[in-house]
Amino acid sequence: MTVTDMPTTRRAKRKARRAARHAEAAQILPPEGVPLNLPIASVGVRLGAQIVDLLITVVCAAAIILLLAFSGMLGVNGFTALASLLFFIIRVPYYVIAELIWNGQTLGKKLMKIKVVSHDGGPLSAHALVLRNLMKEAEIFLPGTLLFSIGSGGFLGWISFAWVFMAFAIPLSNVHRQRLGDMLAGTHVVHLPQPMLLKDLARDVLRPRPTKKAAFTFLSHQLDHYGAFELQTLEQLLRAQDKRMEQAAFERNRATVVSIVENIRRKIGYADAIKPHEAVDFLRAFYNAQRAHLEQRQIFGERRQDKHYSGSNDTQGGQG
């Protein structure tokens, strides 16, 4: 409206657009044809996993070198060459074999709960895993070791620096956070989702004293005020009621619930007053009725995203 409002709305729009792009990127279409959401792992998390893996391989290499040194098989002059060679020989198969055995996870990735998946939703092929890990050598380790061995000065040093910089810039510049090896192999890295089934609130209401309580009844026009967003916010609030609370928190929570109940009552025009100790029960009953109502509407093809649905409905005309 005013001039000062403009940038914030534009920024909000851009933010929304970016969020939509990221949500779309997180979708994978498996052969079954039901899109799955696997959130893309960020560069920072992957770097963490990488550091863990690096530590593991370095410790292995160091152990072997110590063993060789104590057994006296090691001359002094070939020491650094042998060390770097050993590190290389352990590192390359480690990544490939670990990701093959543990289905796209190295130990570091297991720790960080991330995982390599195929970009097109198909199975991970051995070829893809080998390719992405060999490219990692060329992408990061080769210029990295050059950078360490040469130091920052010199022409070659600058080239390696630019190379490492590029290797980190490429994942940041695409939505899937793919590095060059990922692009070639057709993979990207995702967070492992943790399935946790919370109880169904709609069934929960049955258990305590089903008949003794005065039932709350809602009329159909009273349920036309809210959409899915409000319903799911209410769901969150109700789930939080089951937690054990300290006395102070309990008081605060009760005050919040009572004020929410008042708001809802005013909005939907519910005539009877609600006593404070009945407030949560009222909310549960309202949740049930509202959910049943909204789901019913949804089956008939009318999705109500939030309480502003009626406004958008008018502009779009009959989308029955």
Strands (E) across 143-289 are located at 187-191
Site for another protein contains 156 (CB under 8 A)? no
Site for another protein contains 75 (CB under 8 A)? yes
Among 126, 166, 240, 249, binds another protein (CB under 8 A): 126
Shortest Cβ 274–another protein spacing (Å): 16
Residue 143: CB atoms within 10 A of its CB come to 21
Nearest to 50 by CA among 152, 156, 168: 168
Question: Cα separation of 18 and 35, whole Å?
Answer: 20
Shortest Cβ 124–another protein spacing (Å): 5
Site for another protein contains 65 (CB under 8 A)? no
Region 222-251 residues binding another protein, contact defined as CB under 8 A? 228, 231-232, 235-236, 239
Among 74, 130, 268, 280, binds another protein (CB under 8 A): 130
Q: Smaller CB distance to another protein: residue 60 or 137?
A: 137
Which positions ≥6 away from 151 have C-beta within 8 Å? 157
Enclosing H/E stretch for 250: helix 247-268
Q: Smaller CB distance to another protein: residue 206 or 273?
A: 206
Among 48, 144, 157, 186, binds another protein (CB under 8 A): 186
Region 269-288 residues binding another protein, contact defined as CB under 8 A? 285, 288
Among 140, 185, 257, 279, binds another protein (CB under 8 A): 185
Report whether 270 contacts 282 (CB < 8 A). Answer: no
Question: Cα separation of 269 and 105, whole Å?
Answer: 55
Residue 99: CB atoms within 10 A of its CB come to 23
Site for another protein contains 205 (CB under 8 A)? yes
Token reading at 219: 């009329």
Using CB under 8 A as the binding criterion, the count of chain residues that bind another protein stands at 76
Which positions ≥6 away from 174 have C-beta within 8 Å? none
Q: Smaller CB distance to another protein: residue 12 or 85?
A: 85
